[in-house]
Amino acid sequence: VQLMESGGGLVQPGGSLRLSCATSGVTFRRYTMSWFRRPPGKESEFVAGIRASGGHAYYADSVKDRFTISRDSGKTTLFLQMDNLNPEDTAVYYCAADSSLILSQLRVPDAYDYWGRGTQVTVSS
């Protein structure tokens, strides 16, 4: 399994970015896919995730109604649409995958077996 993020960059407050996670070796119907982020000087935190079964999406309270997670099964690509960004969203964003998570593990970084290298998102004026 390989994951590669792209789409990060510098954006002004209130702006938008769309992150992509290209995958290989992943079948979306079998793998839970999530986005995490690591703000400067802080621990990794869950952002959003899509479960393998049913495709239901889950979000951190801090990004709900601003971020949208989606997946393109045909291209095996995971996306994170980020709108109305603010400086607190500045972080390195990672996509993660696992084929054996239960719901209670969704927001736990250590529960995921596969990670990308991350893409930097900086929100600043």
CA distances from 52 to 43, 102, 106 (A): 25, 10, 11
> How much is the pLDDT for 28?
84
Pick 9 or 51 by higher pLDDT: 9
pLDDT (tens digit, 9 = 90+) per residue, 66-100? 999 999 877 689 999 999 999 999 999 999 999 99
Q: Which amino acid is at 30?
A: R
φ/ψ of residue 4, rounded to 5: -140, 115
Contact 90, 24 (CB under 8 A): no
Residue that the structure tokens 């049913």 belong to: 54
> How much is the pLDDT for 104?
93
pLDDT (tens digit, 9 = 90+) per residue, 18-56? 999 999 998 888 899 999 999 999 999 999 999 887 678
